[in-house]
Chain A
Amino acid sequence: MPLSTQSQGEDEQYVLVASLDHARNLSNILKAITFKDHAIFNATPNGLKVTVEDSKCLQANAFIQSKIFQEFTIKEDMVGFQVNLTVLLDCLNIFGGSTTPGVSTALRMCYKGYGYPLTLFLEEGGVVTVCKINTQEPEEPVDFEFCSTNVTNKVILQSESLKEAFSELDMTSEVLQITMSPSQPYFRLSTFGNSGNAHYDYPKDSDMMELFKCTKTQTNRYKMSLLKPSTKALALSCKVSVRTDSRGFLSLQYLVRNDDGQICFVEYYCCPDEDVAED
C-alpha cells in the first residue's frame, strides 16, 4: 500500500522524500537508539544516519541504507536536521504499531529543508494521518575518533549469547568491566554488585564466537547506566562486534535484520570510566 496519492508537484518542493511500506522497519531500529529525546538526522544518497548522544560519553548511530526504503529521493548531497525522537516514534506508531500479519502502516517521510517541519504521511487500512514534527537546529555530533587502525581488540559474537548475559547482568553494579585478552579469560564481562561479583567468560573457540582478534590484554570499565540502552539494540540484532581501541573506548556494532530480511546497523560508542587506571 505505498502512498501514491501525493501529487508530483508537491513532491518537487521536498529535498528529502523517503517511503516505506512498513513503518515498523524504521521505528524498530529507532527504538534501539532511544535513550534521549533529541536525534540528529543526516541523510545522504546512501541512506539515513540517526544519531543520539548522552553526556558526551555515549553515542548511538543507526544506519538505514537507502535501499531499505521503497523510495529514497534526496536533492542535496547532505540533508541534516534534528527532531524529537520520542515524538517521531509516537507518530510512527500512531496506528498502534500492530504486529498482525497483513496489517501494516505505510510511511512517506518528507522534508522541505531548513526551517520546515518533518512531514510524515502514515497510512493504514485506507486511513491517512499527516504528522508534522518541528525540526531543530542540528547539533554537531561528538567525534569519538574511534579509528579502526587503533583497534587493539575485536570480537564478533552471535547476539544470542550476549543477550543472555546482558539480561542477567547485576544492575546493582555501577560498572560493567570488559576484559579482552589474547590469553585467558579471552572475553570476560564482569559486574561488581551489592551481593558480590559475577563474571561471564566466553572462550575464544566458542561456536558463538565468529571472530576473535585480540592483540593485548585490556580491562576497561564502562558505566552500566550508559551501556544499558545498548541492550535494546542487542535485543534486535543477530550479530554484535565488540571493539576497544588503545584509549579503552568501546565500540559496539550490531547487525540488525528487519522483518523483510534486510540488514541495518546500529553502533554504540562509549567512553571508559576514568577512575580506573589502565592495567
Chain B
Amino acid sequence: MDCVVTGGNVKVLAKAIHSLSRIGDELYVEPQEDGLALRSVNSSRSAYACFLFAPLFFSRYTIPSGPAFRCKMAIKSVQAVFRSLATLEKTVEKCHIELDEQKNRLTFTLHCKHGLMKTHNLSFQDSESLQAVFDKDSYANVFRSHPRLLVDTVVHFSPSLEEVTVSVSDDQMWVKNHVEDEADRSKAMLTELCLASDEFDNFSVQVHNSVTFCLKELRGLLVFAESTGLPISMYFDEPGRPVVLSVTDSVLEGNFVLATLSDDTDQRKNNTKRARTTPPPAPDDFMNDDMDSYLIAMDTSIMPGPSASRPPSPPLVNSTCLNHTAAANHRTRLHSEEEDEEEETVDSCGPPNKKFCSLFFGSVLPPSSQMTTQPLTGQEVLASDSEDDVQ
C-alpha cells in the first residue's frame, strides 16, 4: 500500500483515528480496492466502528495486487503520529502512508512546514478482518441531523455517564440518562431532553421505541462529525438490536454500530408489536438469556470469492442465517482455530452484567473489493440467530 493524503484531509484522517480510539485499543487497517478501511471494536465487542476512505480521498492510492492484506496495531501508536491535532492543519502539508510487508512496518511520513519531516515506523500484527454485519436499510427508525444538534444534546450529560436512552414518537425524540438500578433511581439525577422532529433533516419513525446505548462511542463519532461538519444519520428500532450511526460524504463513510440494552418487558411488547416487520427471535433453548436473542452476527470466515455482489437479503430469517454460515464455512479454507475460539468466547461470555447485546464479530477475509463499510452488500444480517450458529 502506498498512499498520500494532503491538505485538510490529513486532519480528517487524524480525527477519524481519534474517534476510533474511543471504541477500542486496536486499529484494524485494510487497504481495499474501494479505499482504505480503518476499523476498531471494543473489548466486549459491543461497539464497532469503521471508516472507509475512498481512493479519491487520497492524492495517491495504490494497493498491491495479489492477496488482500490486513493488519492491526495499537491505536495509541497511530494516534501518536497525529498527536498535535490542533496544529495539524497548519503544520502538516502531506502525509504519506506506506506499507512494507517485508519489514512488517507501516510507515507514516508527515511532511511538515519548514521542511521538518516526521517518520513513524509502526510495527503491526497480521489480523483477521473485522467486519460487523448490519443493514442500515432494514431499520424502522431513521434520523438525520447536523452534528451540532447531537453535540448540543450530549453536552448536558456528565462525562461520567455511561449510557443514554433514546425514545421516539411520531414527531419527537427524547434523550435521557440511563440509570441502571431501580434502587438508584430515587437518588440519581435524571436529565431528559426532548428534540422536535423539525430539528432533524430527516425524521422517520415506524416504531415507537426506546433504546439504550453507550454514550462514549457516540461522543467519539461526534468529535469526527463536528470537525468535518458531516450530518449524522442514526438508525435503530428494537431494544437489543444495535443502533447504527453513520456519516457519509463523497469520499468517505463512517459507521458506528453500538449494541443496545435489551429489556425483557420491552422486548416482549415490541416483538408482538413488530411482528409484521420482523419475525420474532427463534425460541431459545440454549440460554434463556435475553442478551443473546438479539446478537448481530459477525462472520468470521475467509471467503475467497467476492460475495459482495449479492443483494442484501431480508434480515432475521433463521434459515438464511444457517445457510449462510454453512456456506461460509464451506468456502473457508483457513478458518483458523483461533478464530473459532474467538467466536466461542465472544458468544459464551458475552458482555456479562449489563445485558448488552454483544455484536458477534468475526473475520471476513474479503476477497477483494467492496467488502467493507457496506458490509450489507455481502452479508445477511444475522441478528437474533447467531446463537444457532454456534450450536
Which A residue sits closest to B107, measured CB to CB? A196
Q: List B residues 264-294 near A (Cβ within 8 Å).
A: none
- For B80, list chain A residues within 8 Å (CB): 168, 170, 195, 198
Interface membership of A45, Cβ < 8 A: no
Q: Which B44-87 residues have a C-beta within 8 angstroms of A?
A: 73-74, 76-77, 80, 83-84, 87
Cβ B116 vs Cβ A206 within 8 A? yes
In the complex, the answer to whether A168 meets B74 with C-beta atoms within 8 Å is no
B119 nearest in chain A by CB position: A199
On chain B, the residues within 8 Å of A208 by CB distance are 114-116
CA distance A208 to B117 in the complex (A): 13
Q: A164–B116 Cα gap in the complex (Å)?
A: 10
Known: A195-B77, A198-B119. 15 other contacts (CB 8 A): A165-B116, A165-B118, A168-B80, A170-B80, A193-B77, A194-B74, A197-B121, A198-B80, A198-B118, A200-B116, A201-B117, A201-B118, A205-B115, A208-B114, A208-B116
Contact across chains for B116 and A201 when beta carbons are under 8 A apart: yes
Question: In the complex, are the beta carbons of B91 and A206 less than 8 A apart?
Answer: no
B115 proximity list for chain A (CB < 8 A): 202-203, 205-208
| Interface hits, B188-226 → A, CB 8 Å | none
Which interface class (under 10, 10 to 19, 20 to 34, 35 or more) fits B?
20 to 34
Q: How far is the CA of A196 from the CA of B71 in the complex (A)?
A: 15
A7 within 8 A of B: no
- Which chain A positions have C-beta within 8 A of B122? 195-196
**Whole-angstrom CA separation of A206 from B119 in the bound complex:** 17
Q: Does A5 contact B (CB under 8 A)?
A: no
Binary per-residue interface labels of chain B (107-147) against chain A in the complex, 1 for a CB within 8 Å, 0 otherwise:
00000101111111111000000000000000000000000
User: Is the Cβ of A202 less than 8 Å from the Cβ of B116?
Assistant: yes
Q: Is the beta-carbon distance between B119 and A201 smaller than 8 angstroms?
A: yes
Give Cα A201–Cα B83 distance, bound, in whole angstroms: 17
A sample of 22 cross-chain residue pairs with beta-carbon separation below 8 angstroms, ordered by A number, consists of A164-B87, A165-B116, A165-B118, A167-B84, A168-B80, A168-B84, A193-B77, A195-B73, A195-B74, A195-B76, A195-B77, A195-B123, A196-B77, A196-B120, A196-B121, A196-B123, A198-B118, A200-B117, A200-B119, A202-B115, A203-B116, A206-B115
A156 to chain B, nearest CB (A): 14
Which residues of the partner chain A approach B96 to less than 8 Å between Cβ atoms?
Answer: none
Residue B105, interface by CB 8 Å: yes
Question: Inside 8 A of B73's CB, which chain A residues have their CB?
Answer: 195
CA distance A195 to B123 in the complex (A): 6
Distance in Å from the Cβ of A136 to the closest Cβ of chain B? 41
Q: Which residues from chain B sit less than 8 Å from chain A, CB to CB?
A: 73-74, 76-77, 80, 83-84, 87, 91, 105, 112, 114-123
Contact of A199 among B76, B105, B112, B118 (CB under 8 A): B118
Q: Interface residues of A: mostly helix, strand, loop or mixed?
A: mixed
Closest to A193 in B: B77
CA–CA, A196 and B116, complex, Å: 20
Q: Which of B76, B83, B105 contacts A168 (CB 8 A)?
A: B83
A161 at the interface (CB under 8 A from B): yes
Give chain A interface residues in 70-119, CB to chain B under 8 Å: none
Chain A interfacial positions (CB closer than 8 Å to B) = 161, 164-165, 167-168, 170, 193-203, 205-208
Distance in angstroms from B364 CB to nearest chain A CB is 27
Q: Give A200 to B120 CA distance when docked, in angstroms.
A: 9
Chain A contacts of B116 at CB under 8 A? Answer: 161, 164-165, 200-203, 206, 208
Q: In the complex, what residue of chain A is closest to B117 when comparing beta carbons? A: A201
How far, in angstroms, from A206 to B115 measured CA to CA in the complex?
6
- Chain B residues lying within 8 Å of A165, measured Cβ to Cβ, are 116, 118
Establish whether residues B83 and A194, one from each chain, have CB atoms under 8 Å apart when the complex forms.
no
A170 CA to B122 CA, complexed, in Å? 12
Find the A residue at minimum CB distance from B76: A195
A167 touches B83 (CB 8 A): yes
Residue of B74, B114, B119 most packed against chain A (CB within 10 A): B114
Asked whether A196 and B105 contact (CB < 8 A) given A167-B84, A168-B84, the answer is yes
The residue in chain B whose Cβ has the minimal distance to the Cβ of A167 is B84
Pair B114/A207 contact, Cβ less than 8 Å? yes
**Which 9 pairs across A and B sit closest by C-beta, in order of nearness?**
A195-B77, A206-B115, A196-B122, A203-B115, A201-B117, A208-B114, A199-B119, A198-B120, A168-B83
Q: What's the Cα separation between A161 and B83 when bound, in Å?
A: 15
**In the bound complex, what is the Cα–Cα distance between A200 and B117 (angstroms)?**
6
Residues of B within 8 A of A161 (CB): 114, 116
Interface centre among A165, A195, A207 (most CB of B within 10 A): A195
Chain A minimum-CB-distance residue to B74: A195
* Bound: A170/B83 CA distance, A: 10
Q: How far is the CB of B159 from chain A (nearest CB, A)?
A: 25
Question: Could you tell me the distance in whole angstroms from the C-beta of A168 to the nearest C-beta in chain B?
Answer: 5
Question: Which A residues are CB-close (under 8 A) to B123?
Answer: 195-196
Give the residues in chain B near A206, CB-CB below 8 Å: 114-116
CA A195 to CA B25, docked complex, whole Å: 13
Distance in angstroms between the alpha carbons of A205 and B115 in the assembled complex: 8
* B82 smallest CB distance to A (angstroms): 9
Q: Chain B nearest CB: distance from A199 CB in Å?
A: 4
Residue of A nearest to B124 (CB): A196
Minimal beta-carbon separation of A201 from chain B (angstroms): 4
Chain B contacts for A197, CB-based, 8 A: 120-121
CA distance A178 to B87 in the complex (A): 25
- A residues near B84, Cβ cutoff 8 Å: 164, 167-168
A248: min CB distance to chain B, Å: 23
Rounded to whole angstroms, the CA-CA distance of A198 and B118 in the bound complex is 7
The answer to whether B77 touches A200 (Cβ under 8 A) is no
What separation, in Å, do the CA atoms of A204 and B238 have in the docked complex? 62
A170→B74 CA distance, assembly (Å):
14
User: Measured between alpha carbons, how far is A206 from B105 in the docked complex, in Å?
Assistant: 28
Which chain A residue has the least Cβ–Cβ distance from B122?
A: A196
CB of B76 within 8 A of CB of A164, answer no
What's the Cα separation between A206 and B117 when bound, in Å? 11
- CA A12 – CA B347 in complex, angstroms? 84
Q: How far is the CB of B361 from chain A (nearest CB, A)?
A: 24
Q: Measured between alpha carbons, how far is A194 from B83 in the docked complex, in Å?
A: 16
